[in-house]
Amino acid sequence: MKVGISDKFDAAHFLPGYLGKCVNLHGHTWTVDVEIEGKVNKLTGMLIDFTKLKYLLKTVLEKLDHDLLNRIVDMPTCENIATYIAGEMSKKIEIDMRTIVTVREGDGGWAQVESQLTS
């Protein structure tokens, strides 16, 4: 079974050494999709409670929202931001399941990372 949620945050970044406009400070609205895959709990009928999953993602995104991502993520490319969010989520979810984190940069590109979350 797969379930998922989405949320957004706004933040600035720049890519040092990049040969293009992204070397300059600029901002985006980032959209984050988190999909969880695993077995449904027979007692609850749920894989994970949406309210809990939304809360966990919100606590991760609060650290990024309206900040300069270069202070938080080493070389804040879309790929590294997705990896960062997946890593932070893995620290918060207590059950063994697979997660897919997709980060969309503005209305353009996206990056996706998959990992196994274990308790």
Residue from 22, 35, 37, 88 carrying the catalytic annotation: 22
Residue from 26, 62, 66, 94 carrying the catalytic annotation: 66
Give the span between the Cα atoms of 57 and 47, in whole angstroms.
Answer: 16
Active site residue 78: no
Give the span between the Cα atoms of 46 and 51, in whole angstroms.
Answer: 12
Active site residue 26: no
Residue from 13, 28, 78, 105 carrying the catalytic annotation: 105
The angle formed by the CA atoms of residues 19, 23 and 26, to the nearest 5 degrees, is 140
SS3 letters for 35-68? EEECCCCCCCCCCCCHHHHHHHHHHHHHCCCCCE
- Which secondary-structure segment (H or E) carries 80? helix 78-92
Active site residue 88: no
What are the catalytic residues? Answer: 22, 66, 105
